Amino acid sequence: MTRFALAPFAAALLLAGCTQTFVSPVSVTRFVGEAPARLGQGTIMVRAAPGTPGDTLEFAAWRQAVATELARVGYQVAEGEGAAQVAEVRIARAVGEQARSRGPVSVGVGGSTGSYGSGLGVGIGLDLSGPRPSVAETQLGVIIRDTATGQALWEGRAEFSASANSKYADRSAAAAKMAGALFAGFPGESGETIEVR
């Protein structure tokens, strides 16, 4: 009897070291300007949006991911000035602790009465999963503009969350996933928000 009673407890201890991995779908919203025929063709340069530091390793991963997707949808990505259009890229990241759905200890009390007597029971639940991993919330924004006039031709925003123990904690993996979702079905339906897994 004792051997079987300890089996669930032993299994719980084995799972105690495991932490949950969280990856959300990518939420994407896009807006198409008044000249959709100009999208997906010609030359385009990718740069940091005003106020975004463009000379960091962090930004380089996002710039490369956006450039890859722009080439996939038909643009010729140019490195220097002189491109007909420009894609301005903005990144925002916030890291926080994943919320615990309930406390680590729970207590349940139950009682019953009947023709054979009464009974009272107490149960204690322990959450042995350990601390929750931190979660990074990331926002990617891209505006495609006409270089000469500055007119916005297209704008897209993507939002995504993933725990630090997922493969998307790596900035290159996160950038590729978000840029791929942002440009899926480019240029997209103006004003529509979709979720991409």
What's the pLDDT tens digit per position in 19-69?
688 899 999 999 999 999 999 999 999 999 998 888 888 899 999 999 999
Number of domains in the chain: 1
Range of the domain at 183: 20-99+134-196
Amino acid at 4: F
Q: pLDDT class for 94, splitting at 50, 70, 90?
A: confident
Tokens coding 62? 């996002």
Q: In sequence order, which residues have a C-beta less than 8 Å from that of residue 167 and are 6 or more positions away?
A: 173
Number of H helices, E strands in the chain: 3, 9
To the nearest whole percent, how much of the chain has pLDDT over 90?
Answer: 57
Average pLDDT, the chain: 82
What's the pLDDT tens digit per position in 168-196?
988 899 999 999 999 999 999 999 999 99
Name the residue with higher pLDDT: 5 or 42: 42
**Domain assignment present for 141:** yes
pLDDT at 3 over 80: no
**Domain assignment present for 107:** no
33 phi/psi in degrees, rounded to 5 = -75, -165
Treating both helix axes as pointing N-terminal to C-terminal, what angle do 57-72 and 171-182 enclose, rounded to 10 degrees? 30
**Domain assignment present for 93:** yes
CATH at residue 37: 3.30.160
Tokens coding 51? 């106020």
pTM: 0.75
